[in-house]
Structure 1
Amino acid sequence: MLKKRPITILLLCILIIVILYFRKDIVYITKSPEYFRDFMKSYGKYAIILYLILSLIRSLFLLPAGVFAIASGITFGAFWGSILTCVGVTLSGILAFEISRCFGSDYLIKLFGDKIKPIEEKLKGKGALYIATLRMIPIFPFDAISYVSGLSNVKLSSFIFGTFIGSLPGAFVYTYLGSNLINIHSKKFILSLCLVIIVSLIPLIYKYVLKRG
């Protein structure tokens, strides 16, 4: 099956090389956004490329996308941080999507257990707009959506478009917070913190509305 999916072979080769090269650094940079920023800046003009490569492998370790977004904001600023975060989560989503198509449901069950069943049901016959909605309203784990999408009939192009567009609002909120971490007493930081709280409450509000009918 791997022979039929050259994208997967390429991504997995990149993954192996990156993990072997950065095996010690990966643990270090996930301790805090500041560590992440200092690590990125140490690579100068190659920082953006490095960020995208690390974002690519993020889904394999199930590291929180929000942490990467905050780190992107503190490193690259709100605007470019948002763009890079969306590109990064899309790349990590493609990797998860391709892996699930190669290794099937048994691999996903080991990762997520029964959590994949409701996502599978909701993805049947859905396209880019539905993927985007799931990204904007994070009622399911971000990476779980990517992995389960690989088992559905969703086209890769639709998945990529939906993931990128749907990730934009959340990416901006978290990168905006990251860009203001250096001055926690500013009005911008308070605003960014309020936005993060609002975004965090959306899934709870959505589930409450569903229960109320």
Structure 2
Amino acid sequence: MTEEIPAPSRRRAAARLGVVALFLAVLFYLVAVRQVIDIEAVRDLIRAAGPVAPLVFVPVSALLGAIFVPGTLLAAMSGLLFGPLAGTVVTLFSAVGTAAVTSLLGRRAGRASARGLIGAERSDRIDAQIARGGLWAVVGQRFVPGISDAMASYVFGAFGVPLWQMVAGSFIGSAPRAFVYTALGASIGEFSAPLAYTAIGVWCVTAVLGVFAAHRGYRLWRQRPRPEPAAEPPVPS
């Protein structure tokens, strides 16, 4: 029997989620669109750290990614600063850090409201689906081009994807793009055409795989049989 959620509780939960979504949208607009953060100043700050610059870059980049500084810019900066090999490692750990921060914030800000909006019964079914495939959902999302990883991680957190799945899924799924954008940044600094062509080839392959996986996942979800509603208990005569 489907749980009935009182209208006032549903409205409060929707209002809380609306406030969180509005805040994230404004933050995305200011940082990703209006570019209120000076990336060049951040790069100069990282470079001034000297030998410990990679260790400084990882947490700084993770936090910047969490507030929607585009990951492509951060990865290219890593490539310019550290080269294609070390830069890829630094970029990958930065992406994992961003995933951890955003998913934890999403869980903290939106988990209770999401459960209150859709109800405990539906939430339990979603939790069961996440337990079976949450890791690969994160991996697949990282492969799909054009989706903000930070925004997706906030949503994953709000729907209860465990932290270990976010970290592992981000590590696996972000690895190809970490190499691509870092290598492109490094190729700009070193004027290496083969490196740039390799990065573009890897991007094309992962983009095709990501779109295919997303399409297949959507079709499987549409074909999944819906659960039958529980029968009403008999009324005693």
Identify the TM-score tier after normalising by the shorter chain.
0.5 to 0.7
Separation (CA, whole Å) in 1 of partners of 2:148 and 2:183: 22
1:1-213 matched pairs, under 5 angstroms: 27-28=37-38, 30-31=39-40, 37-104=43-110, 124=130, 126-138=133-145, 140-184=147-191, 186-193=193-200, 195-196=202-203, 198=204, 202=208, 206=212
Deviation per CA, 1:41-61, whole angstroms, max 9, x where unpaired? 211022112211211212342
The count of aligned residue pairs is 169
1:175 to partner: Cα distance: 0.8
Separation (CA, whole Å) in 2 of partners of 1:92 and 1:138: 17
Q: Check whether the contact 1:100–1:151 (CA below 8 A) recurs between aligned residues.
A: yes
Separation (CA, whole Å) in 1 of partners of 2:175 and 2:189: 23
Q: Check whether the contact 1:37–1:74 (CA below 8 A) recurs between aligned residues.
A: no
Paired amino acid for 2:68: L
Alignment partner, residue 115 of structure 1: none
Deviation per CA, 1:63-84, whole angstroms, max 9, x where unpaired? 1011111111111111111111
Q: Check whether the contact 2:111–2:159 (CA below 8 A) recurs between aligned residues.
A: no
1:204 to 1:130, Cα distance in 2 relative to 1, 3 A: closer
> What SS is found at the alignment partner of 2:189?
coil
> What SS is found at the alignment partner of 1:104?
helix
1:149 to 1:55, Cα distance in 2 relative to 1, 3 A: same
> What SS is found at the alignment partner of 2:158?
coil
- More displaced stretch, 42-51 vs 168-177: 42-51
Separation (CA, whole Å) in 2 of partners of 1:154 and 1:194: 31
Separation (CA, whole Å) in 1 of partners of 2:55 and 2:167: 19
Q: Check whether the contact 2:143–2:206 (CA below 8 A) recurs between aligned residues.
A: no
Separation (CA, whole Å) in 1 of partners of 2:207 and 2:139: 18
1:48 to 1:183, Cα distance in 2 relative to 1, 3 A: closer
Deviation per CA, 1:131-158, whole angstroms, max 9, x where unpaired? 1111122353211111011112321111
Identify the structure with bigger relative contact order (alpha carbons < 8 Å, sequence gap 6+): 2
1:43 to 1:133, Cα distance in 2 relative to 1, 3 A: same
Q: Check whether the contact 1:180–1:192 (CA below 8 A) recurs between aligned residues.
A: no
Q: Alignment identity in percent?
A: 23
Q: C-alpha root-mean-square deviation of aligned residues, in Å? A: 3.3
Separation (CA, whole Å) in 2 of partners of 1:94 and 1:88: 10
Q: Check whether the contact 1:138–1:203 (CA below 8 A) recurs between aligned residues.
A: no
1:191 to partner: Cα distance: 4.3
Task: Mark the structure with the bigger radius of gyration.
Answer: 2
